[in-house]
Structure formats: C-alpha cells, structure tokens
C-alpha cells in the first residue's frame, strides 16, 4: 500500500474489557487482535485520532516506510494487559509527534525482530518528539531486536507516573544491534525506574535464536530531569556484550537509590547531579574506561 491516511477527530474503541478478562482466564495464552495493524505501507499518515481500550496493542505499523503518527490520544486502564500504545516494528523513516499515551503497557515500543524466522529490515530513523506519557511501561526499544534498531531520536518528551522512562529491553535469542540512540530534553515526574537497559530481559533459554545476541552502542542522554524516582537507573549489559559508548550529560535526578552501571565500556558522564536518599549516587561494576 502507498499513500495511506487515517485522519480526523474520531474515536476508535476496541471494547477491550472482554478480551482482557478472557486473556486472564486463559492463563495469559489467548491471542488477541490489535486495534490498528498496518503492514508494508509507504507514506503512511495517522493524524488526530483517539484510540481507546484495544484488546492488545493499539497501533502497530509493521515493515512500513515514511510513517507519520501525530496528534493522537491513546487511553486504556492502567491494569489492562499488553495494551501498548504505538509499536513500530521493522519500520524506517518514522516520525511520532504530539501524542499523549496513557495505557497498561509500553507507551511506545520500537521493535526490530525477525519475520517468519528471517532477518529483515531494521527499525531505523525513528524520531519521537513533543509527546506526553502517563500510565504505562515507558518508551521502550525491544524486546525483539534481532534485525536491529538504529537511529532513534527522542526530543522534548514528558513522563508522568509511568512505571519506566527510557527503556531498552532484549535478551539472547531475540537480540541484535541497538545503536545510534539520542534522548534530549526529557522530564520525568514520579517515574520509579527512569533509565533501564536490560539485555537479560527474560531468562527463557528456549526462546528465539541462540546467535541473536543483543548489543547497545552509541547512546546519548542529554538534559534529563527526574524527580520522585525509586532508583536513578539501571544500565546493565551482558558479560559477552558490554554496553559501549554511552554519554550521559546534564542529568538532574532525585531518587532513593543511585544509578547502577554494569558490564559497560566507554561511558562518559558530564555535568550530572544525582541526589539519593541512601548509598552512592553511582554504582559501577565491570565498567571499563568510564569517566564520572
């Protein structure tokens, strides 16, 4: 498909409550539909809609090119299972702007997994700006990253009461290169876990492809303000896949406990202030060539 537009001030209601209950009753095995799922489209515009109560993910563009998603309001209850807001999967040249997302799982999740077992185009050139995240699990990359995620830029976004903030999650078996990430002018209020890199997201050894190892390289966070956090962050690589080339600058974080940095190489921290209730502000383990 080419030149597809979904525009207007209307509301699309997924009537998800019955699906959520059936999902719980099934022991969390029931397959549920997405509210909007668009695949292999070029020049896709989604503008102005209100999306509510999806049975699962609200909006999924998959293997699309030149995508603009703007001025959306996405809402589902805090306890609604897997009601992600916007999940671009293996898409290129994506702009997400001026959206408000308040839901029960990832507010945004950028995925770059396999398709029918095959490595395909990575997710790349993703811009997210001027968005507001309320309840939800944060702005995520992963967990599927086997085909890669590269060139993500996030600017001028606010997080209020989300469970997590900036989040990268993957695991051996589902992982690939995650690189060229930039986060700038970010404000978080009452977000328990503002910074997370977790490359051992699930310990299910039977899941995925043994050679698909996640890696993170080239991440910049600049002008981040955090108040009311449980911890300052947890940036943890693998012993066989160190986090590499991270630059954290102009951080102002208020939290109960400090920033954990583990299994990393070449981490620079500049002009930062991390105020904690107890313990050190930065806890580094197997952090090679770091400066802070």
Give the model's pLDDT for residue 204.
Answer: 56
Contact at 8 Å (CB) between 92 and 42? no
Shortest CA distance to 36 belongs to which of 22, 23, 20, 53? 53
Give the model's pLDDT for residue 290.
Answer: 62
Beta-bridge mates of residue 236: 198, 262
Helix (H, G, I), strand (E, B) or coil at 25: helix
Q: Which residues are catalytic?
A: 105, 137
User: If you count them, how many residues does the chain have?
Assistant: 292
Does 143 sit behind a cis peptide bond, omega within 30 degrees of 0 on the bond before it?
yes
Give the model's pLDDT for residue 289.
Answer: 66
What is the residue extent of each domain of the chain?
2-227
Helix (H, G, I), strand (E, B) or coil at 228: strand
Helix (H, G, I), strand (E, B) or coil at 115: strand
Contact at 8 Å (CB) between 112 and 145? yes
Give the model's pLDDT for residue 291.
Answer: 64
> Using CA atoms, how far apart are residues 219 and 148, in angstroms rounded to an integer?
14
Please count the other Cβ atoms lying within 10 Å of the Cβ belonging to residue 269. Answer: 18
- CATH 3.60.21.10 for domain 2-227, yes or no, is no
Helix (H, G, I), strand (E, B) or coil at 233: strand
| Environment class of 5 (CB within 10 Å of its CB; exposed 0-12, middle 13-18, buried 19+) | exposed
Ramachandran area for residue 43 (φ above 0: left; ψ -120 to 50: alpha; else beta) = left
Give tens-digit pLDDT for 251-263: 999 999 999 999 9
Give tens-digit pLDDT for 164-211: 999 999 999 999 999 999 999 999 999 999 999 999 998 555 567 989
Contact at 8 Å (CB) between 277 and 254? no
Q: Could you say which residues of the chain have pLDDT below 70? A: 203-207, 289-292
pTM above 0.95, yes or no: yes
The span from the first CA to the last CA of the chain, in angstroms, equals: 49
């Amino acid at each position: 498909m080419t030149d597809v537009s979904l525009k207007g001030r209307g509301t699309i209601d997924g009537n998800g409550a019955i699906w959520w209950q059936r999902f719980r009753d099934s022991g969390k095995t029931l397959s549920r539909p997405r509210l909007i799922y668009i695949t292999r489209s070029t020049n896709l515009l989604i503008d102005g809609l209100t999306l509510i109560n999806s049975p699962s993910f609200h909006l999924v563009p998959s293997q699309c090119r030149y995508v603009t998603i703007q001025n959306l309001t996405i809402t589902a209850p805090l306890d609604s299972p897997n009601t992600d807001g916007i999940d671009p999967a293996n898409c290129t040249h994506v702009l997400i702007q001026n959206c408000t997302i308040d839901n029960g799982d990832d507010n945004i999740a950028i995925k770059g997994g396999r398709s029918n077992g095959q490595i395909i185009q990575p997710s790349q050139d993703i811009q997210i700006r001027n968005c507001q995240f309320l309840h939800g699990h944060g702005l995520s990359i992963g967990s599927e990253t086997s085909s890669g995620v590269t060139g993500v830029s996030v600017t001028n976004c606010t997080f209020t009461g989300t469970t997590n903030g900036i989040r990268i999650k993957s695991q051996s078996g589902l992982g690939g290169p995650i690189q060229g990430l930039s986060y700038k002018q970010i404000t978080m209020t009452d977000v328990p876990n503002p910074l997370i890199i977790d490359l051992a997201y699930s310990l299910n050894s039977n899941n995925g492809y043994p050679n698909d190892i996640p890696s993170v390289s080239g991440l910049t966070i600049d002008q981040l303000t955090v108040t009311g956090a449980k911890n300052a962050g947890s940036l943890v690589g693998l012993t066989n896949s160190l986090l590499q080339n991270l630059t954290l600058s102009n951080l102002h974080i208020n939290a109960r406990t400090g920033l954990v940095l583990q299994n990393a190489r070449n981490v620079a921290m500049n002009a930062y202030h991390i105020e904690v209730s107890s313990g050190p502000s930065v806890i580094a383990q197997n952090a090679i060539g770091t400066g802070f």
